[in-house]
Amino acid sequence: MFKKLIQKARVKSPWLLHYDCSSCNGCDIEVLACLTPVYDIERFGIINVGNPMHADLLLVTGTVNYRNRKVLLNLHDQMPDPKLVVAIGSCALSGGIFREAYNVIGGVDKVIPVDVYVPGCPAKPEAIIDGVTLGLNVFTRSKEGRKTHAR
């Protein structure tokens, strides 16, 4: 009974952690715009936190390189299960315009599993909110025992 209450609370009020893997900051500005009163992502019960041990959602922007790969893995490993990973922007999806650079591994999915992809350069706040709410639906279905990934 108590476990179901906690699971329902995690789905209805997920906490997100945003990590920038080194980008041009275009997608970071759009993620921060989602937190402003204009777009108000908090209306879905989503709260931005700074501790991965409290986070349910991981929003990742930017290209993954060899230097920040370990940090991304560490953040992902510290998050409690079940967790949701949303890759935002073309850099997070494939490496973007930096994909041919010598130090770039590629998209986020080369390092950790991604549940939702939000394309764009930079991704618009509306698309980010749609991706997060889509992810919450996936999060709800995985809570019920059906492991489904939206792409």
State the pLDDT confidence band at 148, using cuts at 50, 70 and 90: very low
Could you tell me the two tokens for 45? 């019960």
Is 58 among the domain residues?
Answer: yes
d(CA 38, CA 9): 25
Average pLDDT, the chain: 81
The residue range of the domain holding 127 is 14-143
pLDDT in tens, 54-98: 888 899 988 888 888 999 999 999 888 888 899 998 888 888 878
Let me know: does 52 contact 17? Beta carbons within 8 Å.
yes
Is the model's pLDDT at 20 over the cut of 70?
yes
Comparing CA positions, the residue from 53, 42, 39 lying closest to residue 127 is: 39
Q: What is the count of structural domains for the chain?
A: 1
Query: In this predicted structure, what is the pLDDT of residue 1?
Result: 67
Assign residue 122 the CATH number of its domain.
3.40.50.12280
Is 85 among the domain residues?
Answer: yes
> Average pLDDT of 128-145?
73
Let me know: does 106 contact 64? Beta carbons within 8 Å.
yes
Is 151 among the domain residues?
Answer: no
Is the model's pLDDT at 52 over the cut of 60?
yes
> Average pLDDT of 14-32?
83
> Average pLDDT of 14-41?
83
Is 149 among the domain residues?
Answer: no
Is the model's pLDDT at 151 over the cut of 60?
no
Query: In this predicted structure, what is the pLDDT of residue 34?
Result: 84
DSSP string of 49-106, one letter each residue: -S-GGG-SEEEEES-EETTTHHHHHHHHHHSPSS-EEEEESHHHHH-GGGTTSTTEEE
Query: In this predicted structure, what is the pLDDT of residue 140?
Result: 66
Is 5 among the domain residues?
Answer: no
Is the model's pLDDT at 143 over the cut of 80?
no
Query: In this predicted structure, what is the pLDDT of residue 117?
Result: 92
Give the least confident one: 4-18, 46-60, 80-94, 95-109: 4-18
